[in-house]
Amino acid sequence: MIYPLEKKGFINPKANFYQLNIHSPEVKTILEKEKINVINHHAAKYPFQNQFRPLFDANPIL
């Protein structure tokens, strides 16, 4: 699915923006069509503050 670029303010207007699940079968089609050889996948855990808890579990001195 290609989303309208005007809704994605900081994306180069010459770029195609695909929002889909990285495990989707469509990914292979897009990679072949666009001749892409590298994927830079950004994912975040929500809520963000919970991914850093417990804060002190890696410090044995505390």
pLDDT in tens, 2-61: 555 455 667 778 888 888 887 889 989 998 998 988 877 666 655 555 555 665 555 555
d(CA 36, CA 53): 36
CB 30 within 8 A of CB 19: no
What integer pLDDT is reported at residue 55 of this predicted model? 57
Q: Hey, is 25 helix, strand or coil?
A: coil
pTM score of the predicted model:
0.45
Q: Kindly tell me the sign of the dihedral angle through the C-alpha atoms of 38, 7, 21, 53.
A: positive
What integer pLDDT is reported at residue 18 of this predicted model? 83
